[in-house]
Chain A
Amino acid sequence: MLRIRRVEEALAEKYAEQQMRCPMHLCIGQEAISVGVCATLTNQDVVFSNHRAHGHYLAKGGDLKRMIAELYGRSTGCCGGRGGSMHLVDLDVNFLGSTPIVGGTVPLAVGAAWAARLKGDDRLSVAFFGDGGVEEGVVHESMNFAALHRLPVLFVCENNNFSVYTPLKERQPNQPIYKMAEAHGLTSWHGDGNDVETVFNIARQATQAIHNQQGPQFIELSTYRWREHCGPNFDNELNYRTAEEITTGMAACPLAKSRKNILAAGTQSMDQLQQLENEIDREIAAAFEFALSSPIPTYTDAVGKVYAQ
């Protein structure tokens, strides 16, 4: 969590230099979900994600250097610069892709689960999406098919209560999202997405259920996006959420909570945590250096690969 947070804080700081010239959706405040869910996965399990993908990618083990290079549009980026922040991929860890068309990758996760079934592989697949994602018809069509065939897929809904500046209550009737999944015949779970222990415990039970052939599972996790929908800044001045709401949302910081728990349990000392942070910061600095010293592609690199050979 700390690594994802520090990476995104570094991105936010450097974004103003105008060298990362692509839309960027930070998950600061929402890290516990990526981390808690991905901690229950093996390397062979596959993950699909959406526009807010940095956390999912890193928690699945995606290469940090290649992610930063991608944001800088360099040849060494995970898509060679073709994708930017909204299109991440790392096949080495079965992070099969994130794309920014809302709901777009959810059926792909179901398809990956279907392929695992057809091939007899014991791997599950995960779709990360937001509270807005569940408004797309394709997500419901995906849940139906997954439930019909009891496919090994985990749906993870990160409910941060907003789609851009529009709160949930202006988009959906007042009822829990996970109930919709239940109506589709999925086993569903819900909990505090800002508590990594909770996320991990739920995700572990859900993934175990999938491995035990109990069919697709749906997890709704409540959380809070601290910064603007897209971009590096805070956006409190827009007044689409109240100062109290922002304060409460940020007070539920998943990092602060687990730091407190770690210190209370004595598993790590203050010093050790500081050391960890220093190490992370060094790794991040190296990743930025890698990105900025990487080769710059030119237009000719953009032309090919429209079709496979």
Chain B
Amino acid sequence: MRSETAARKLTYAQAIQEALRQAMEADPGVVVIGEGVPDPKAIFGTTAGLREQFGAQRVFDMPLSENGMTGVCIGAALCGIRPVMVHQRIDFALLAMDQLVNNAAKWHYMFNGLKSVPLVVRLIVGRGWGQGPQHSQSLQALFAHIPGLKVIGPATAYDAKGMLIAAIEDNNPVLFIEHRWLHNINDVVPVDSYRTSLDKARIVHAGNIVTIAAFSYMVMEALHVAQAFAKHGIAVEVIDLRSASPLDTDTVLSSVKKTGLLIVADTARASGGITAELITRIVEQGFDHLRKPPTRIALPDHPAPTSHFLANGYYPDAVNIFEEICRIADIKLGADARAQILHDIRRINPHDVPNLAFTGPF
């Protein structure tokens, strides 16, 4: 019975739904609000059944008023409610920048710690299927730049559940970034409620050749590569950063002390991004341990185009990570080994969808 429970698998989206449900069961002050929360699609299934279980008093749809409603949630949070807000695209949260940055992030500090804002905002990154310039951005760095906000991006269903519960219980505004290409990926998720810390990176694949620190969906791409290398006795260390702010420099630094080489992978633009911040810190604190300049795998300096033809090359993937590992770690593979790794990490779905089942339209 116990092992059966321990091995239960959920998708990332189901793990979010379970986290919301358990957080709402545990605390009557938790409410869920967002455009489409109780609708038939239930935010990609993540809010399914919540209205039935907790009623319309705690599970809300909302007007298309992102900034105002964020302020409403902040006000409620100041008065004993723990709102969990969700935007189907992180891009829509840009309308709420004022409330998030000027109010949510500052309240505790500017009023000398008298009150805090226990608010969670779920933000879905909508890569793929021609979502284009205004529906597929990765904006973690924008938020991570603001002191007072916690910015997390779990990569696994296990962490999605544990970190969402921890975020809801946290007394600060937490931005919970969900890359939608993670939504359908399975992981072992314990049935009971649990908390995963919001400020710790995690080694998801141990190794000593090179350190890859990755954020959100890029953890999956890096893991593929590490697993493919492992078959050839080459041990790549993959660190799931899990949080963009605070950024867990220590975990990365101890890995770099071991490997001497660092690659940072992010779903967002390299310039001014969390890759830049992490590398700066490692250079500041661990320069002597680095054998070569750290490098980055992230987006180029232009917006996402819509056309799948144009986008074919915009997003770095496992192959880019593989090549970068070979280069930085000076790995000389035989032709057979190289071919096999490339075969193992090849993409079987079209480049603009997360899996073969995905056929649009949104």
Chain A facing B: main interface SS = loop
Do the beta carbons of A170 and B61 come within 8 Å of each other? yes
How many residues belonging to A are interface residues under a CB distance threshold of 8 Å? Answer: 51
With A99-B134, A101-B134, A298-B310: A24-B361 Cβ-Cβ less than 8 Å:
yes
Q: Which residues of B contact A301 (CB under 8 A)?
A: 310
Do the beta carbons of A15 and B361 come within 8 Å of each other? yes
Chain B, 158-196, contact with A by CB distance < 8 Å: what is the 0/1 string? 000000000000000000000000000000000000000
Do the beta carbons of B40 and A74 come within 8 Å of each other? no
Q: Which residues of A contact B66 (CB under 8 A)?
A: 136
Do the beta carbons of A23 and B361 come within 8 Å of each other? yes
Q: Which residues of B contact A179 (CB under 8 A)?
A: none
A282 at the interface (CB under 8 A from B): no
Do the beta carbons of B310 and A21 come within 8 Å of each other? no
With A22-B132, A164-B36, A165-B41: A171-B61 Cβ-Cβ less than 8 Å:
yes
A238 at the interface (CB under 8 A from B): yes
A231 at the interface (CB under 8 A from B): yes
With A103-B64, A298-B309: A166-B39 Cβ-Cβ less than 8 Å:
yes
A254 at the interface (CB under 8 A from B): no
Do the beta carbons of B40 and A165 come within 8 Å of each other? yes
Q: Which residues of A contact B63 (CB under 8 A)?
A: 132, 135, 171-172
Do the beta carbons of A306 and B361 come within 8 Å of each other? no
Q: Which residues of B contact A232 (CB under 8 A)?
A: 361
A82 at the interface (CB under 8 A from B): yes
Q: Which residues of B contact A132 (CB under 8 A)?
A: 63-64
Question: Min CB distance, B70 to chain A, in Å?
Answer: 11
A230 at the interface (CB under 8 A from B): yes
Do the beta carbons of B134 and A73 come within 8 Å of each other? no
Chain B, 35-78, contact with A by CB distance < 8 Å: what is the 0/1 string? 11001110000000000000000000111111110000000000
CB nearest to B311 among chain A residues: A302
With A23-B129, A103-B64: A306-B303 Cβ-Cβ less than 8 Å:
yes
Which of A83-91, A112-120, A203-211 lies at the interface with chain B?
A83-91
Question: Min CB distance, B281 to chain A, in Å?
Answer: 28
Give Cα A24–Cα B309 distance, bound, in whole angstroms.
Answer: 17
CB nearest to A18 among chain B residues: B359
Contact of A297 among B131, B134, B310 (CB under 8 A): B310
Chain B interface residue bracket vs A? 35 or more
Do the beta carbons of A73 and B309 come within 8 Å of each other? yes
Question: Min CB distance, A31 to chain B, in Å?
Answer: 20
Q: Which residues of B contact A308 (CB under 8 A)?
A: none
Chain B facing A: main interface SS = loop
Do the beta carbons of B61 and A87 come within 8 Å of each other? no
Chain A, 38-52, contact with B by CB distance < 8 Å: what is the 0/1 string? 000000000000000
Give Cα A77–Cα B130 distance, bound, in whole angstroms.
Answer: 14
Question: Min CB distance, A198 to chain B, in Å?
Answer: 27
Q: Which residues of A contact B134 (CB under 8 A)?
A: 86-87, 99-101
Do the beta carbons of B41 and A297 come within 8 Å of each other? no
CB nearest to B312 among chain A residues: A299
CB nearest to B135 among chain A residues: A100
Chain B, 72-104, contact with A by CB distance < 8 Å: what is the 0/1 string? 000000000000000000011011000000000
Do the beta carbons of B61 and A306 come within 8 Å of each other? no
B334 at the interface (CB under 8 A from A): no
Do the beta carbons of B307 and A82 come within 8 Å of each other? yes
Chain A, 109-149, contact with B by CB distance < 8 Å: what is the 0/1 string? 00000000000000000000000110111100000000000
Do the beta carbons of A81 and B135 come within 8 Å of each other? no
A280 at the interface (CB under 8 A from B): no
Do the beta carbons of A21 and B313 come within 8 Å of each other? no
Do the beta carbons of B307 and A77 come within 8 Å of each other? yes
Chain A, 208-252, contact with B by CB distance < 8 Å: what is the 0/1 string? 000000000000000000000011100000111000000000000
With A101-B92, A238-B40: A84-B132 Cβ-Cβ less than 8 Å:
yes
With A23-B361, A84-B132, A297-B307: A306-B64 Cβ-Cβ less than 8 Å:
no
Name 20 interchain pairs, CB-CB below 8 A, sorted by A: A15-B361, A22-B360, A23-B129, A23-B360, A23-B361, A82-B306, A82-B310, A86-B135, A87-B306, A99-B134, A133-B64, A135-B63, A137-B65, A138-B95, A172-B63, A238-B41, A298-B310, A301-B310, A303-B302, A306-B301
Chain B positions within 8 Å of A, measured between CB atoms, are 35-36, 39-41, 61-68, 91-92, 94-95, 129-135, 300-303, 305-314, 352, 359-362
